[in-house]
């Protein structure tokens, strides 16, 4: 119990701070987002403050008073999970609901489509009828009058209604993390590159009275940290004081190099280079085959687009999306096949008496996984989705979450998510006569939730949060999983309250524009899919997309098989999953630089130099994290003082 109280004393205030800081930073200030990728800059910065600030201070009084490694690991894991809801989780829930009500109120065809759909009224804060009063949504979008009370009660039914799907989905993903993480780490030897960056942030000195962990006593760490912080400070400072601070440009536009045929038609991601040291640093820790595959596929497909656009009349660029989707469909089956013995153990633990602690842990995780899947299925049936479609959507959610968890475990990419159109594309492969209004609408909704809604996935974050403490076994993982679920539920309420209060009292960010401008329209694809269905359109025959899907799936099967049977085979199919996507297209240059650095270090310095170089690359990452937080804080101070400020351009928007 003595070890538990420090965790509670630090974690609870930190979580509540995240609920407040993240929505205000991301939406009211429209600053660089600090909880929208797997590095979670706000959590990493907080841990740096604990390791470099609080622990050395406590060490002045007593070495026993400082936080231990196991305590720091729990705090870090809780913070990572707490960041999930206040940022992306709410962006894909509150604002899209309000925008949908507003569209139905102002557009007769949208209102008619929703009337045909006949959804439960509790899903939205106001009526979806055309031309009626929407007293709860109008002030949410246009700002509430100063003296008017916030209509909290109007949002309670939507919160409970949508939580009927969201909470089982969370349970499913946390259970998935518990089931697969230890097996992947110990049996399949999956790299988990992000953990190589996260674990030093929970380190404590073990020798004598040293007050700093080994990493932070290495000069190379501080050299790299300072260099990155200085570079970004010059870049951001020149925007405020252009005549005083010299600008250091870390973005290179190469469009002028591609102005003639066929080069003008090359993939757009080849025409710009932006250095992000977080992504470069993490790539250094990834296996070379994985990082090579990520950037190699980007180059190959950029050339493929160039040739097709220049020399092939009628070239279908959507084939690239079909290739990715085919890979997404094939990839999880390899994951399940490789883990078939482990899955059999989990099934036995569920249906037979447990023989040891691990079996009891897997029994609980397996039952939780089934409960989550059944809860998702029941909710879809409640909103009117036919059983077979509901089953298919739940299966898609499971497969997408599993694939995403494996992608990040292999690559360490801090930013990756599936395309929002994947689920609708799959649905359109079936005849229109098999569709229903509800099946197409919720294919659109869940396409967003399973895609950009997993910009920071619960499954991925939970798996890494479980792995921060190397010594934890499956028994401890189940306890941590339960803690994570409590944090997620509390975050829906706590961060939701902050988000509603902030939005009702502020129509626009302090810098102008719209609050959550990007997230407010994320249900529009679902509305479009519904309207297409009601018009009898939207079918996409297998002859159109079938070849692309088969090519992507077949290439994945071939490359994965070669990786299994030829250990030195250089190309992994994981690179195909991110070809031309918004996230990977902005990171692949950094993955290339990180891969190149690792190859050169290993070739000329061997494993000894590689071990020493880790501190340098963690320093690059930490320097960029601190730069993001520092310049966000500077912008926030200016914003609340009524001064002009700029959104830091350190991380991708």
Whether 428 and 539 have beta carbons less than 8 Å apart is answered as yes
Write out pLDDT tens, residues 391-426. Answer: 999 999 999 999 999 999 999 999 998 888 888 888
Better pLDDT: 209 or 109: 109
Beta strands in 30-161 (DSSP E): none
Statement: residue 208 has pLDDT above 60: no
pLDDT band of residue 516 (cuts 50, 70, 90) is: low
Which residues is 272 bridged to in the sheet? 253
Write out pLDDT tens, residues 272-305. Answer: 888 999 999 999 999 999 999 999 999 999 999 9
Give the pLDDT of residue 525. 87
pTM above 0.85, yes or no: yes
Q: 414 phi and psi, to 5 degrees?
A: -70, -15
Give the pLDDT of residue 163. 93
Q: Which residue has the tokens 């925007």?
A: 239
Give the pLDDT of residue 365. 95
pLDDT band of residue 256 (cuts 50, 70, 90) is: confident
Q: Distance (Å, rounded) from C-alpha 28 to C-alpha 499?
A: 9
pLDDT band of residue 91 (cuts 50, 70, 90) is: low
3-state secondary structure of 253: strand
Torsion of CA 405, 406, 410, 414, to 10 degrees: -20
Give the pLDDT of residue 327. 94
Statement: residue 131 has pLDDT above 60: yes
pLDDT band of residue 89 (cuts 50, 70, 90) is: low
Statement: residue 362 has pLDDT above 80: yes
Whether 294 and 588 have beta carbons less than 8 Å apart is answered as yes
Statement: residue 519 has pLDDT above 70: no
Whether 172 and 376 have beta carbons less than 8 Å apart is answered as yes
Q: Distance (Å, rounded) from C-alpha 500 to C-alpha 151?
A: 9
Write out pLDDT tens, residues 563-600. Answer: 989 988 999 999 999 998 888 988 899 999 999 999 99
The closest alpha carbon to 413, from 610, 302, 281, belongs to 281
As a whole number, mean pLDDT of residues 54-76 equals 86
Element (H, E) at 150: none
Whether 37 and 26 have beta carbons less than 8 Å apart is answered as no
Q: Which two tokens stand for residue 456?
A: 């920071």
Helix and strand counts by DSSP (H, E) for the chain: 24, 2
pLDDT band of residue 257 (cuts 50, 70, 90) is: confident
Q: 600 phi and psi, to 5 degrees?
A: -65, -40
The closest alpha carbon to 624, from 237, 197, 291, 281, belongs to 281
Whether 164 and 375 have beta carbons less than 8 Å apart is answered as yes
Average pLDDT over the chain, rounded to an integer: 90
Q: Which two tokens stand for residue 446?
A: 């869940």
Statement: residue 153 has pLDDT above 70: yes
Q: 251 phi and psi, to 5 degrees?
A: -120, 125
Query: Percentage of the chain with pLDDT > 90?
Result: 63
Give the pLDDT of residue 17. 95
């Amino acid at each position: 119990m003595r070890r538990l109280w420090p965790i509670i004393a630090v974690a609870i205030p930190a979580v509540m701070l995240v609920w407040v800081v993240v929505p205000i930073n991301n939406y009211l200030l429209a600053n660089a987002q600090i909880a929208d990728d797997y590095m979670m800059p706000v959590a990493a910065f907080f841990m740096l403050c604990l390791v470099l600030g609080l622990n050395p201070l406590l060490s002045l009084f007593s070495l026993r008073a400082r936080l231990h490694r196991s305590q720091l690991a729990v705090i870090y894991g809780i913070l990572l999970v707490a960041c999930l809801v206040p940022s992306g989780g709410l962006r894909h829930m509150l604002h899209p609901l309000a925008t949908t009500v507003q569209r139905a109120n102002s557009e007769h065809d949208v209102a008619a489509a929703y009337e045909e759909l006949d959804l439960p009224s509790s899903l939205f804060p106001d009526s979806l009828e055309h031309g009626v009063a929407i007293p709860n949504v109008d002030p949410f979008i246009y700002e509430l009058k100063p003296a008017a009370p916030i209509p909290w009660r109007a949002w309670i039914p939507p919160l409970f209604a949508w939580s009927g799907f969201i909470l089982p989905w969370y349970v499913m993903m946390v259970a998935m993390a518990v089931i697969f993480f230890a097996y992947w780490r110990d049996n399949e030897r999956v790299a988990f590159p992000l953990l190589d960056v996260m674990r030093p942030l929970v380190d404590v000195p073990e020798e004598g009275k040293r007050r700093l962990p080994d990493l932070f006593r290495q000069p190379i760490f501080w050299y790299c940290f300072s260099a990155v912080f200085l570079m970004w400070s010059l870049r951001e400072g020149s925007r405020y004081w252009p005549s005083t601070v010299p600008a250091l440009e870390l973005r290179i536009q190469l469009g002028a190099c591609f102005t003639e045929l066929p080069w003008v038609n090359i993939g757009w991601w080849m025409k710009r280079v932006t250095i992000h040291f977080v992504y470069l640093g993490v790539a250094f820790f990834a296996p070379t085959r994985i990082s090579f595959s990520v950037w190699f596929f980007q180059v190959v497909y950029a050339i493929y687009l160039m040739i097709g656009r220049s020399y092939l009349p009628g070239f279908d660029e959507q084939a690239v999306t079909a290739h990715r989707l085919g890979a997404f469909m094939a990839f999880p089956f390899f994951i399940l096949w490789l883990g078939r013995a482990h899955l059999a153990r989990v099934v036995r633990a569920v249906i037979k008496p447990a023989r040891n602690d691990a079996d009891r842990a897997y029994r609980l995780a397996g039952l939780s996984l089934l409960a989550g899947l059944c809860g998702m299925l029941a909710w879809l049936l409640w909103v009117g989705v036919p059983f077979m479609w509901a089953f298919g959507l739940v299966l898609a959610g499971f497969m997408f979450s599993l694939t995403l968890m494996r992608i990040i475990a292999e690559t360490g990419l801090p930013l990756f998510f599936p395309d929002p159109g994947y689920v609708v594309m799959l649905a359109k492969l079936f005849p229109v006569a098999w569709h229903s209004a509800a099946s197409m609408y919720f294919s659109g909704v869940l396409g967003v939730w399973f895609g950009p809604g997993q910009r920071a996935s619960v499954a991925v974050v939970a798996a890494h949060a479980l792995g921060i403490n190397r010594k934890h076994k499956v028994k401890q993982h189940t306890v941590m999983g339960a803690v994570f679920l409590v944090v997620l539920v509390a975050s829906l309420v706590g961060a939701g309250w902050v988000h509603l209060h902030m939005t009702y009292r502020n129509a626009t960010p302090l810098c102008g524009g719209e609050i959550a401008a990007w997230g407010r329209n994320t249900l529009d694809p679902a509305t479009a899919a519904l309207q297409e269905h009601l018009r009898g359109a939207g079918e996409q025959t297998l002859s159109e997309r079938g070849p692309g899907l088969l090519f992507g799936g077949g290439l994945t099967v071939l490359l994965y098989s070669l990786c299994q049977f030829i250990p030195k085979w250089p190309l992994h199919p994981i690179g195909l999953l991110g070809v031309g996507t918004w996230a990977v297209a902005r990171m692949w240059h950094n993955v290339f630089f990180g891969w190149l650095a690792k190859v050169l270090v290993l070739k000329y310095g061997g494993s000894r130099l590689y071990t020493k170089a880790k501190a340098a690359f963690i320093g690059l990452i930490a320097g960029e994290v601190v730069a993001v937080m520092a310049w966000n804080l500077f912008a926030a101070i200016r914003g609340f003082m009524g001064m002009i400020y700029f959104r830091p351009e350190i991380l991708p928007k």
